Structure 1
Amino acid sequence: MTGGFGFGGVFMILWWVLIIVGIVVLVKWLTTSFGTGGRSGGGSNALDILKERYARGEIDEQEYQKRKQDLSQ
């Protein structure tokens, strides 16, 4: 006996590393796709950004309505 894992032990370790990496990638992918509300591309559309800016108080109602009308065209 060689006293170590041997060749089979190396493959066993690589197998478990691949399993763990696969789980991490899957969890990241799931949290990214569900974290964006199911939208593909991962970004918000312009109207959503406008609503967020209005809600945070970055723009007033007049500017909100004007930009909303511009986006609707």
Structure 2
Amino acid sequence: MKMYGYYGSPMGWGGFAMMALTMVLFWGGVVALVVVLLRKVPHAGSAHRILEERLAKGDIDAEEFERVRRTLDSR
């Protein structure tokens, strides 16, 4: 029984390039999705919390609170 040497991959360089490109696109999509989701989540030191604190201290009245809150929500 004669054994023949096996050189290279059966998919060749084109298949390897497509596999690498697909991996880059996949992980790029995952990173982009995480970035988009993190931008939508309000942060702990958010402007809403500061606005609520100013209302509680009496720095602003309820009318100004609502006006500024609507402005923040529209962003």
TM-score (norm 2): 0.49
Higher relative contact order (CA 8 A, sep 6+): 2
Higher Rg:
2
Structure-1-length-normalised TM-score: 0.50
